[in-house]
Amino acid sequence: MTQHNIAFLGLGNMGEAMAKNLLKAGHRLTVYNRTASKAADLEKLGATVAATPAAAVADAAFVFSMVTDDAALLELCLGPDGLVAALPAGAVHASCSTVAPDTNRRLAEAHAQHGSTLVATPVFGKPDVATAAKLWLAASGEADARQRLAPLLEALGQGVHDFGDDPGAASTVKLCGNFMLGAAIEAMAEAFTLAQKSGLARQQVYEFFTSTLFNTPIYKGYGKLVAERHYQPVGAAPAIIRKDMRLVLDESRTHLVPMPFANILHDHLSTTVAKGEQGDWAGFAERITDGAGL
């Protein structure tokens, strides 16, 4: 594979794991993180650490960004020393964060004005999945940029699915996915709790369903946390996914779609954040277990 100058901005658990896989693939990597200390591991592995987003992207052919929310992405792109104004013409920005579709659309326009291109490339998977380069990726944006980006995305996961030219489309898909994950967790929380209060062992019910009808890593992984009521390790914090559910509800209101399940998930995550619970976001399952007096 051709080796490129790549910038990676945003080195949380997900970003760091993805950046390491780009390094492993032989690319020249420059990294930036608001809290600079998080770049130390990558620097040891050969990455160059930049002091600002603009400095990080100055000679990049490709930029990846992975930050926590819309505000952080807008700051990174359009704020002081932002990446959009500094990015060389012809460069492609792979926008990996979970943000509103309109945020990626708006940023795609800003890139176009500077001669570069944004492709929305949200990823599915926890940090351990990112480390193993087994993420699933969705991509949407201008066709030529998508094609140039494809080999880099392949290095991060087990498949890239194409959702066309609208840079908002892949963000919508990502929001739908996080919503469906939340619905699966809530369904297990309700079912396992009913079973427990009926005299069954949560663990046995969990094992039955995840070896039969719901025999899939998602149900097995999150179901284990729900069955054991032990929400560790933390794949994503409740506040992060609560933000995603708010984005789902924003979209549902914009597009006039009734989403009763999404409303419930958002409420449960609000309580989980309000109570200051520190585990994985799947800990919102406690709204049912705790709510049943267990």
Q: Give me the residues that bind a copy of itself (CB under 8 A), please.
A: 101, 124, 136, 138, 159, 161, 163, 166, 168-169, 172-173, 175-177, 179-181, 183-184, 186-188, 190-195, 197-200, 204-205, 208-209, 212-216, 218, 248, 251-252, 255-262, 264, 287-288, 291-293
Cite the DSSP H helix spans in the chain: 13-24, 40-44, 53-57, 70-78, 83-86, 101-113, 127-131, 143-154, 169-197, 202-211, 217-228, 238-254, 260-274, 286-291
Report the nearest approach of a copy of itself to the CB of residue 158 (Å). Answer: 9
**β-strands 62-65, 123-124: how paired?**
unpaired
Report the nearest approach of a copy of itself to the CB of residue 208 (Å). Answer: 5
| 7 bridge partner residues | 30, 63
Shorter beta-carbon distance to a copy of itself: residue 7 or 189: 189
Phi-psi region of 125 (alpha: psi -120 to 50; beta: other; left: phi over 0): left
Which pair of structure tokens corresponds to residue 141? 């944006």
**β-strands 123-124, 92-95: how paired?**
unpaired
Q: What is each CA distance from 255 to 32, 107, 108, 250, 262, in whole angstroms? A: 36, 21, 21, 9, 14
Catalytic residues: 174
Shorter beta-carbon distance to a copy of itself: residue 131 or 263: 263
Report the nearest approach of a copy of itself to the CB of residue 200 (Å). Answer: 6
Report the nearest approach of a copy of itself to the CB of residue 228 (Å). Answer: 17
Shorter beta-carbon distance to a copy of itself: residue 34 or 197: 197
- Contact (CB, 8 A) for 4 and 57: no
Report the nearest approach of a copy of itself to the CB of residue 212 (Å). Answer: 4
Shorter beta-carbon distance to a copy of itself: residue 27 or 126: 126
Triad 222, 280, 98: Cα angle to 5°: 90
User: Cα–Cα distance between 240 and 134 in angstroms, integer?
Assistant: 21
Shorter beta-carbon distance to a copy of itself: residue 88 or 221: 221
